[in-house]
Amino acid sequence: MKFSEVVEKLSDATVEGSSLTTHENCNPQIQGVASVREATPGTLSYIEGGKYAEIVETTKASALILPLDEMLQERAIAREIAWISVSDPKWLFAQAVKLFYKPYLPQPGIHPTAVIDPTANIGKACSIGAHAVIEANVKIGDNVCIFPNVTIYPDVEIGDRAILHANCTIHERTRIGNDCTIQSNAAIGAEGFGFVPTSKGWIKMEQSGITILEDGVEIGCNSCVDRPPVGETRIGRNTKIDNLVQIGHGCQVGDGCMMSAQVGLAGRARIGDRVILAGQAGVSNDITIGDGAIASGKSGVTRDVPPGQTVSGFPAIAHRLWSKTSILQMRLPEIYQAIKKLQKEKK
């Protein structure tokens, strides 16, 4: 489609400037989207800020989504690159991707090899793939997509428009809200790691609780959300969880959180709203992390984190303090030699 058509389709967003207003002839054909460094003629890309200005000089993109930066706009004009300007280019680029790519979803229908218990209640316009297993008393909403080899244990409830990708497993009594996505090989509601030490060895504590995913939750490939011995494990609305993440039994995760790959939450951790846990961050059991807090990559959170604080390191401390100690750590050989020298001088 022409660049002007792309702009028109994105008109719901707040577009605050466009090359079309001053350079009407700069209206290339746009065939797709690409990252700015890998862009080719005919593609649309984006620039997040002035620090990427040099990329405007080298990109092969035919059109760019720019921030509100006149210098970047002038550089794009000089190279005859079409552009639109918005306050959040990355967000608008995410909307533009949808114009050129639609994720694969099969048509509604039930594959003849699917095994569905007669007590299961299946909503309207659902798609159930080959060899999927849906056990007793399962309730599935409308427009749900269940890919091949998914297994759903008894008494599970799944809301409207949920997507369950191939080979994921939903354990008994789990509750999954509307518009949730479970990626391949994830396990939701499996038994928590509950064992009691005794003189005769470890005794298993049955995990009688449930797991609840509220609306809009997404769970990545090979991630696990465990159910507790009693009560519930709950993931709040619109929380997004990456691949290879472990959510322990009884955890309470708030709304709008983001967890990157290999994050681990031990049992009964309490995570507030809008918390970000970067890759490989770990949270000890019974820890509370306040709203809006951030734990940077590989942080080991062993103490409660106040709302809004950023922590780093192991054990995790305030990020600014961690930055200072990291600089000192790099200077330890130098400091050690200085101390040795002082000790010799004293002798």
Residues annotated as part of the active site: 249
Residues 6+ apart with CB under 8 A from 46: 36, 64, 65, 66, 89, 90, 92, 93
Cβ density class 256-273: b for 16+ within 10 Å, e for less: bbbbbbbbbbbbbbbbbb
Do residues 26 and 80 lie in contact, with contact meaning Cβ atoms separated by under 8 Å? yes
How deeply is 82 buried, as exposed, middle or buried, from its count of CB atoms within 10 A (0-12, 13-18, 19+)? Answer: buried
Percent helix, percent strand, percent coil in the chain, to nearest 5: 20, 30, 55
Cα 124 to Cα 140: distance, rounded to the nearest angstrom? 9
Do residues 128 and 148 lie in contact, with contact meaning Cβ atoms separated by under 8 Å? no
Cα 333 to Cα 44: distance, rounded to the nearest angstrom? 50
User: What are 224's two structure tokens?
Assistant: 């696990």
The whole-angstrom distance between residue 60's C-alpha and the CA centroid of its chain comes to: 30
User: What are 138's two structure tokens?
Assistant: 């399962």
